[in-house]
Structure 1
Amino acid sequence: MIVRLQITVRYVETDAMGVVHHSAYVPWLEAARVEWLNRMGVPYTEVERQGLAFAVVELGLTYRHPARFGDQVEVETWLEEVSSRALRYRYRVWKEANLLAEGFTRHLCQEASGKAQRIPTDLLNRLKAHSQ
């Protein structure tokens, strides 16, 4: 399942050169990931109600072209890998037909104390059913 989330670049996300600062992409990826879970039928709030979190343990981004204030961009995301304790999402950020950035995040399932935790079987099966 691939989800595409539309985002309008805000002025606060730009730097002195007038382009989107590299750090602004990280919240966009998070928003797309949360939307992916929503569309899968598992709001992140449901994960948290189970006393779990998917902590980001690795992130990689390659920037190809700049975005600017007011641009309409689209963040495309999908779940690439699922294991008993971890998830790996992939992302592409587009402005029309131009690929602006691409990358990934890896997440470890943790309980409230921060200890690694197996993903509950029912949730794991739902995630696997929607992974690429």
Structure 2
Amino acid sequence: MHADVIIEIPFHDVDTMNIVWHGHYIKYFEIARCKLLDEFQYNYVQMKASGYAWPVIESYVRYVQGIEFQQKIRVRAILKEWENRLKIEYQIFDADSGKRLTKGFTSQVAVNIDTREMCFQSPSVLFERLNAWSAFQPA
């Protein structure tokens, strides 16, 4: 399961060398992650309504090539694990050439909002959402 978003790099994301500041890559990952979570209707609003928060506990970025002002990029978020955590991998490509520019991942765990306890297994609501989504996908 994956989702793609296209982003045109705004001026306020680049440094004096016209290259995207390294911290903004996590923001691009977040935009793609929200698109992916929307695919199976379990984005942050639905997470909270189900009684769980899903904080990011780990993030990794491998910078392959710099991204410049006004460059159009395609950010792909791929759901890799969901049984005990949400592990989402990301790839950033130049939207025109298709060349890969960056890759990385994030990990999130479920935390019960009422008790503030971390869950060692993903809650059943996540599996329900994923199963409902997959039932409507073409074979």
Q: Into which bin does the TM-score normalised by the smaller protein fall?
A: 0.7 to 0.9
Give the aligned CA root-mean-square deviation in angstroms: 1.8
Query: Which residue matches 1:88?
Result: 87
- Name the CA distance, whole Å, in 2 between partners of 1:114 and 1:93: 34
- Paired residues of 1:61 and 1:104 also in contact (CA < 8 A): yes
- Paired residues of 1:38 and 1:44 also in contact (CA < 8 A): no
Instruction: Tell me which protein shows more strand as a share of its residues.
Output: 1
Query: Which residue matches 2:102?
Result: 101
For residue 101 of structure 2, give the secondary structure of its aligned residue in structure 1. strand
Query: Which residue matches 2:125?
Result: 122
Question: Is there any run of 5+ residues in structure 1 with no aligned partner, and where?
Answer: none
Query: What are the equivalent positions in structure 2 for 1:1-132 lying under 5 Å apart?
Result: 1-84=1-84, 86-95=85-94, 96=96, 97-112=98-113, 114-117=116-119, 118-127=121-130
Give the structure-1-normalised TM-score. 0.88
Letter in 1 for 2:92: V
- Report Cα offsets for 1:62-94 as digits up to 9, x if no partner: 01111111111110011101123x110000001
Higher-Rg structure is 2
- Report Cα offsets for 1:104-127 as digits up to 9, x if no partner: 101111123542034331322434
Q: What fraction of aligned residue pairs are identical, expressed as a percent?
A: 24
Query: Which residue matches 2:137?
Result: none
* Pairs aligned (count): 129
- Paired residues of 1:82 and 1:127 also in contact (CA < 8 A): no
Question: Is there any run of 5+ residues in structure 2 with no aligned partner, and where?
Answer: 135-139
